């Protein structure tokens, strides 16, 4: 069974469109993340959710809106897509809460396979 899954795997769309990427984890983890990996391979955190509550919201455009219907799912909706949004988007999850103070292997993040978004 896939621990962290994302759909779709590939997404090609036109500028100005609205699209969503879905993420699900079956690990029973408390915290989920969205990362953007650009062409230079930097992984930049976009959002983090702990038990359905937003706990990190980096300076991303408000065209990006995360939605977490339950702690096993964290979806990413993008409005008015722009060329610069083209990247690979990774979902990840971890057992520990980011504010829990735990320092252990439980902080290991498990990544989904990524969604390759191309905006034309």
Which of positions 33-72 make contact with another protein (CB under 8 A)? 40-45, 56
By CB under 8 A, which span of 11-19, 20-28, 63-71, 93-101 interacts with another protein? Answer: 93-101
7 binds another protein per the rule CB under 8 A: no
12 vs 43 by CB, closer to another protein? 43
For residue 63, give Cα distances in angstroms to 7, 16, 20, 26, 74: 19, 11, 11, 28, 16
Q: Which two tokens mark 105?
A: 């292997």
Euclidean distance between CA atoms 100 and 107, whole angstroms: 10
Q: Give SS3 for 83.
A: helix
113 binds another protein per the rule CB under 8 A: yes
What is the widest separation between alpha-carbon atoms in the chain? Answer: 43
57 vs 65 by CB, closer to another protein? 57
In the complex, which residues of this chain contact another protein (CB under 8 A)?
40-45, 56, 90, 96, 98-100, 103, 105, 107-114
């Amino acid at each position: 069974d896939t621990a962290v899954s994302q759909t779709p795997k590939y997404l090609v769309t036109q500028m100005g469109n609205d699209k969503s990427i879905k993420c699900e984890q079956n690990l029973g983890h408390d915290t989920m993340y969205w990362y953007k990996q650009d062409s230079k391979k930097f992984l930049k955190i976009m959002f983090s959710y702990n038990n359905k509550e937003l706990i990190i919201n980096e300076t991303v455009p408000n065209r990006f809106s995360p939605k977490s219907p339950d702690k096993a799912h964290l979806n990413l909706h993008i409005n008015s897509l722009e060329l610069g949004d083209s990247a690979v988007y990774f979902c990840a999850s971890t057992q520990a809460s980011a504010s829990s103070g735990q320092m252990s292997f439980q902080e290991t993040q498990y990544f989904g396979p990524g969604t390759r978004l191309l905006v034309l």
